[in-house]
Amino acid sequence: MKHQEIMLNTLIKTNNLNGFSEDEIGDDHIYTGLETPMKVDAFEISDEEKKEKIAVLFSQIMDVMGLDLNDDSLRGTPNRVAKMYIDEIFSGLNPANKPKVALFDNKYQYNQMLVEKNITFYSNCEHHFVPIIGKAHIAYVSSGKVIGLSKLNRIVQYYAKRPQVQERLTNQIAGELSKILETENIAVIIDAKHLCVSSRGIKDDTSATVTAFYGGIFNEPNKIAELQNYLNQ
């Protein structure tokens, strides 16, 4: 772990990150780094072992809340939650689930921007573990290689399926695409609704959050305008 990351973790643990407390970090949706915070031994136990442990721990949470785990409707809930966490909504934490991406030569010699818009995704806020629901728009200009359109969707889903903050999600998708396509000419725009805003706290059900990454030629005003024109069609 890098020195600055160690210092950052220490500051968080002592509730002294630039004067913010842990509650303030969560309520204000402040994130602490580009990489998803993971333990170094995160994959020393198998997914099946993780599900077993989560089921036990979640049953304890339900018990503390006063729920009757002998009820037919609730009895299987701990196992269902454990499977959902590991196999579905947080499956993007495991690098083994990273989509395999094959590159193809740009035989059509298409040298303009390619835009894939309205990619629906479901993620979860890392501060309260409630859903983030939104759409991602991706654009790139080929450097000589292209990838299948469905792989753009899969990359979005992979990074969305983990506890997230929208700014990090935006940058992680852009970074992955830039690395795969070997180009800086990447744009990622995410428009999402956060249930931690609409269902708790301020309880604002009408607001949405938009984040954007513009790399390479997408920093040029004419390219941004061209991209926005495609997205508004």
Q: Which of 125, 137, 157, 164 is catalytic?
A: 125
24 is catalytic: no
Q: Which of 137, 164, 176, 194 is catalytic?
A: 194
127 is catalytic: yes
166 is catalytic: yes
Q: Which of 127, 137, 172, 176 is catalytic?
A: 127
3 is catalytic: no
137 is catalytic: no
Q: Which of 157, 164, 172, 196 is catalytic?
A: 196
Q: Which of 157, 166, 172, 176 is catalytic?
A: 166
Q: In what side-by-side order are the strands of the sheet with 163-164?
A: 163-164, 114-125, 131-140, 186-194, 209-214
Q: Which residues are catalytic, by number? A: 125-128, 166, 194, 196
